[in-house]
Structure 1
Amino acid sequence: MNMPSIAGKLSPTATNMIRMDHTHTMATFHQYEIDASPRTKQGLVNTICLALEIHAQLEEEIFYPALRAMDSSNPAIQKAVPEHNEMKRLIAKLRGMRPTEAGYDDTLFELMRDVMHHVADEETILLPEAERLMGDRLGDLGAQMLKRRVELAAPRGGEIATNMLRGMPKSTMMLAAGALMAGTYLMKRNGNHTRHDA
């Protein structure tokens, strides 16, 4: 029997990481509103697209090959990569559009319909199958996926931060800016009192 590595014990399992990605993508999509500003729409769409690109690459490089080695006949595994390819086509289309263009919202909704269908297959068929077949190995696969995620995301850190800021409604940004200014003021004020009291 294969003993899980320390990294495998500390990382989320591969299946839990995939579920967390699904939840994050859906939560971001639920923030999307047709009447939002183009800036907010662009930030949310870019966040969704990048998350899906990294997620698909992790599955294709690490998770699917491991699962295929255990059960190559599962039809859900066989159709997963073609579904990813269709999602990538729609992502490329979205990346080539401006949020103010006709069809932008519809293209995002088409992408998310595909994503929801894909997520349903993974969460009801593939992930339970992986947990049944690969139990102990899922921690090590999760560690591999986490390492690869860092490699894929690190060069795009600025893009990720910019998208997150763009995706925030202005009211939330104003509230965050106000809290930051108030916190800075209080720290300076408390720092001045400390110096005078000393």
Structure 2
Amino acid sequence: MSKAPAKKNDAVDLLDADHVAVKKLFTEFKKLSEAGAPEEKRKALADKICMELTVHAEIEEQIFYPAARAAINDDDLLNEAEVEHASAKELIAQISAMSAGEELFDAKVIVLGEYIDHHVEEERNEMFVKARKSELDLKGMVQELKTLKEELMANYEVSA
């Protein structure tokens, strides 16, 4: 992986920090799976991954993607990202509805991680680069993203 660019403390950095955090969770899950960790531990971590991804997708879809769509003029890129989100949400729903003891549970979580890796790579190498070159107010968007993320996380904890 290439050296990380200097932090600009903007919307791209905020979204990418989520990417890094969830990547660590997927790595931890894979280790638990390979070690044959107890079902409760794997299920709890999978649920955390699913929650983090769901909240992240929501803030991108509500705030970042519409602004990026208007600013970078690349509908194909944004359309692909939205389809990738929809596919990830389908896998998240399947994982959320399963118990860790079910066949394919670990495989689905691991494949979701691989899928997210691909999605993140496209965002980092294409969408985020174009967003930074555009007229988007990425610094101004940070507070809106943080506020929505906090609201969604709070709602998740209430319903859990």
The 5 A counterparts of 1:89-128 are 89-128=90-129
Q: 2:22 aligns with which of 3, 25, 34?
A: 25
Residue in structure 2 matched with residue 15 of structure 1 by the alignment: 12
CA offsets per residue over residues 22-57 of structure 1, 9 Å max, x none?
001001111112111111101110111000000000
Instruction: Select between 150-159 and 77-86 the one with higher mean Cα deviation.
Output: 150-159
> Where in structure 1 do 4 or more consecutive aligned residues deviate above 6 Å?
none
Identical residues among aligned pairs (%):
27
Aligned alpha-carbon RMSD (Å): 1.8
Q: Match of 1:103, as an amino acid?
A: L
1:38 and 1:55 map into 2 onto residues whose CA distance is 25
The 5 A counterparts of 1:1-198 are 12-32=9-29, 33-34=32-33, 35-134=36-135, 137-157=137-157
Q: Match of 1:65, as an amino acid?
A: P
Residue ranges of structure 1 left out of the alignment (5+ in a row): 1-11, 161-198
For the residue of structure 2 that corresponds to 1:31, the secondary structure is: helix
1:115 and 1:29 map into 2 onto residues whose CA distance is 10
Deviation at 1:80, TM superposition (A): 0.4
Residue in structure 1 matched with residue 5 of structure 2 by the alignment: none
Q: CA 1:22–1:159 in structure 2 vs 1: closer, same or farther (change >3 Å)?
A: farther
CA offsets per residue over residues 103-150 of structure 1, 9 Å max, x none?
001111221111010000001111111111136x11111111001111
1:105 and 1:93 map into 2 onto residues whose CA distance is 12
Give the conservation status (yes or no) of the 8 Å contact 1:22–1:119. Answer: yes
Residue ranges of structure 2 left out of the alignment (5+ in a row): 1-8
1:54 and 1:113 map into 2 onto residues whose CA distance is 19
For the residue of structure 1 that corresponds to 2:134, the secondary structure is: helix
Q: Match of 1:118, as an amino acid?
A: H
Query: Could you tell me the TM-score, scaled by structure 1's length?
Result: 0.71
Q: CA 1:159–1:46 in structure 2 vs 1: closer, same or farther (change >3 Å)?
A: farther
Residue in structure 1 matched with residue 4 of structure 2 by the alignment: none
Query: Could you tell me the TM-score, scaled by structure 2's length?
Result: 0.87
Residue in structure 2 matched with residue 5 of structure 1 by the alignment: none
How many residue pairs get aligned? The number is 149
1:78 and 1:157 map into 2 onto residues whose CA distance is 30
Deviation at 1:88, TM superposition (A): 0.3
